[in-house]
Structure 1
C-alpha cells in the first residue's frame, strides 16, 4: 500500500470527478486530498480532505470574469507562505510516497520542497506540453494562458496529459498523454442513437440560446437551468447524474459548452457535439477548435449564434458520428497503468 497526497483544483467539478474515479481504481492505496470549494464536498465521499485555497477561473454571463479571477488569485497568494508551511507539516505527518496534482497550485510546490515525486494529471497541460497549429488570431490567448499554466501549475516532476485529442507532445522527459478518464457511471449506460438532442449548459445563458433551440426540428432535453418544464419541443430537467448520462447515451447529438469532461463523455458514447465555449476561456476554445478540426462536431460562439450553421450541422451529423465512432475515447486503463507505475517507481 502506498500513501498518496492528491491536490485537486477546487472549482469546475470535472477535476474532482476525475480524482475520485482514480482513487476508486486504487483501493489498495491510501489517499489524502488537498482541495477547495465544490471539490471538497465531492471528494469527502469516503476520503479525508484538507481544504486549501487555489487560484481558479471565475465566469459571469458566459464569459471570463477577470476581476473575480484576479481577486481570488490575490487572496490565494496572500496566504501562500502560511499554506505552504501547513502543507509541509501535513507531508511530515502523512509521509506520502508520492503526490498527485490535478491542476492544483500548492501540492506540487510543497512536494518539491519535501523531495517527494509529484505527478501532474490534468487536461490543461495539453496547452503547454503539446505542439499546436493554431490561427494567428489566438496567439495572445495561447501565450497568456501558457504563461499562467507554466508559472502556477507546472511544478510537478512528471506530467500526464488527459485529452480527447492527442496533439504531438513537445520534446522532453517525464511526460505522457492519455485518452480521457471517465467516471464509473459512464460505463453503466449503453449508447444508442435516438431522436432527441441533449443540451447541457452550466453557465449563464445568452437570451438568444433558447429561441435557437426552439427552431431545431427535434425534441431537445435541456439540463443546466435547474427547473422542470416543457416548452414546445424543449424539455427542461433538473440535474441528475444518471438522468443526464442516460439522456446523453441515447441522444442524436450533444450541445454543450467547452468543458473537457462532458465533451469526452459524449464522444465516448459516439455523439457528435456542438460546442459553445465560454468567452475568454482559452482551454475551452481549444477543445472546440480540435472538435471541429477533427470532424467530431461544430464550434459556435454563444455570443454570435449562427442559426444557418446550426441548421447545416444536421446534414453533417452522420459523417461526424462515423468519425467519432472510429476513435477509442476510453483511457482509464491506460492512464491508471501510468499512475500505478509512477506510484511504484516515482517516475514515468
Structure 2
C-alpha cells in the first residue's frame, strides 16, 4: 500500500510518531510516498526528521499557538483570534489547496493525518475520495469514557472543537494512550499504544547520572531555568529548545547547557539523566515513562494539562505551573516504580497499527 503522511510540525512529538509509523509500514512491505509537514515561520523542521523519514518532504503554513504577553503559557483565545487574521487565512487557504494537489498527484491508498487540521479541511472542502485515518493522543478528547475529556470552560470547549476539526474526513481515529482502555466504536475511536521509535524500544538500558534533563517548546521558560541554575551551581542541567538565535549548543552557565533539538543526543541524555522536566508534550513523557525517569511537568496549555494529569496518576510525575526545580529535587528522592506494565503495553504497538492501517483497510 501507498501512504501519504500529513504531520503537525509543532514540537517534536508528531514528527517522531511519523518516523515510528513509517518504519512499521516499511517492515510490512508498504511505502510512504510523500510527507507534508505543517509549520510556522518560528519553527524549523528538525534535521533528524528530514534525515530519517526516507520520503520526499514538503511543508505548508499551518496554524500556530499564541502565547500570553510576557508569559510562558498559551492563550487559546489569542490563538484563535491570531489565526483568523486575513493574512493567515489566505495562507491557510493556499495550504489547503496544496494538500489537495499532493493527494491528487501521489494518489495514496490512505492518508495518515497526525493531528493536522488543514488536511481534514482539504479532504472535506474538495470532497476528495481517499481513505484517511487520524493518529494522535488528542483524539482521546472525543472518547466518551476518557476521564480528562470533559474539561469545562472556554479553553476546554475550544480544544474539543480543534480536535473535531482535525478529525474531519477521517474514516477512523487511532487515539494514542499511556494505558489500555476500551475503544469508542460509535465515534470510530480505537485505543492504541504510543508510537515510540526503535531507537527507544531497542535500547532499554538506562542509568542515573548526576544531571537533570529538560525540554521546552516555549523559549520564554529559559529565563526561569537560568535564574534557578545560578542559585544552584552544583546541579547540572541540559535543556533542549528550538531557538535559532543561539548556536547548536550554548553554555548559558557553568552548570546549564542549552541544546537545539537533536534527537540522538536527546535520547542519550534521557537514558542517563536522573530526572526530566518538560512542558508535558505527549511523546517525550512516553519516553521518560519507558525509562522510568522521575518527571516534573509544567504544561503551557490545556492539552498539556491533560497529558500532565494523566501522567501524574503515577507516582513518577509531579505537576507544577513553573520551573520549581527545588520541589523537583525533593521529588527525585521519593519517586520510583517499575515500567514493566507500560513496556508491555508499548510492545503491542506494531501489531495494533498493522491491524488498524493494513488489515482494517482491506476489511480483514
Q: How high is the TM-score relative to the length of structure 1?
A: 0.81
| Correspondence list, 1:17-36, <5 A | 17-27=16-26, 28-31=29-32, 32-36=34-38
- Is the alpha carbon distance of 1:48 and 1:342 closer, same or farther for their aligned partners in structure 2, counting shifts above 3 Å? same
| Correspondence list, 1:156-235, <5 A | 156-166=170-180, 169-170=183-184, 172=186, 174-186=188-200, 187-188=202-203, 190-203=205-218, 204-205=220-221, 207-213=223-229, 219-224=235-240, 227-229=249-251, 231=253, 234-235=255-256
CA deviations 1:249-269 (Å, max 9, x no partner) are 122221121111111111111
**1:271, CA displacement in angstroms?**
0.9
- Is the alpha carbon distance of 1:71 and 1:139 closer, same or farther for their aligned partners in structure 2, counting shifts above 3 Å? closer
| Correspondence list, 1:1-348, <5 A | 2-27=1-26, 28-31=29-32, 32-37=34-39, 38-39=44-45, 42-43=49-50, 45-59=53-67, 61-64=71-74, 67=78, 70-74=81-85, 75=87, 77-78=89-90, 83-111=95-123, 113-129=127-143, 131-133=145-147, 139-166=153-180, 169-170=183-184, 172=186, 174-186=188-200, 187-188=202-203, 190-203=205-218, 204-205=220-221, 207-213=223-229, 219-224=235-240, 227-229=249-251, 231=253, 234-239=255-260, 240-278=262-300, 281-302=301-322, 305=324, 307=326, 309-310=327-328, 312-317=330-335, 321-328=336-343, 331=346, 333-335=348-350, 337-339=352-354, 341-346=356-361
Structure-2 separation of matches of 1:136 and 1:13: 27
Structure-2 separation of matches of 1:306 and 1:6: 38
Unaligned runs of 5+ in 2: none
CA deviations 1:229-280 (Å, max 9, x no partner) are 3846x241424433322221122221121111111111111112111111xx
CA RMSD between the two structures: 3.4
**1:340, CA displacement in angstroms?**
5.3
CA deviations 1:173-219 (Å, max 9, x no partner) are 53211222112332346212333322233422164444445666974
Structure-1 separation of matches of 2:19 and 2:279: 23
Is 1:270–1:325's contact at 8 Å kept on the other side of the alignment?
Answer: no
Give SS of 2:221's match.
coil
- Is the alpha carbon distance of 1:81 and 1:199 closer, same or farther for their aligned partners in structure 2, counting shifts above 3 Å? closer
**1:100, CA displacement in angstroms?**
0.7
Is 1:99–1:118's contact at 8 Å kept on the other side of the alignment?
Answer: yes
Structure-2 separation of matches of 1:123 and 1:322: 24
Give SS of 2:19's match.
helix
**1:153, CA displacement in angstroms?**
3.7
**1:23, CA displacement in angstroms?**
1.3
* Number of residue pairs aligned between Structure 1 and Structure 2: 339
- Is the alpha carbon distance of 1:346 and 1:276 closer, same or farther for their aligned partners in structure 2, counting shifts above 3 Å? same
CA deviations 1:102-160 (Å, max 9, x no partner) are 01123334445223221101122122225344599854432221122113444311011
CA deviations 1:158-181 (Å, max 9, x no partner) are 011113245654452532112221
CA deviations 1:21-53 (Å, max 9, x no partner) are 211332232321222324496347531234333
- Is the alpha carbon distance of 1:103 and 1:347 closer, same or farther for their aligned partners in structure 2, counting shifts above 3 Å? farther
- Is the alpha carbon distance of 1:306 and 1:6 closer, same or farther for their aligned partners in structure 2, counting shifts above 3 Å? closer
Quick check: 107-116 or 11-20, which moved more?
Answer: 107-116
Structure-2 separation of matches of 1:89 and 1:146: 28
Give SS of 1:115's match.
coil
Is 2:13–2:283's contact at 8 Å kept on the other side of the alignment?
Answer: yes
Q: How high is the TM-score relative to the length of structure 2?
A: 0.78
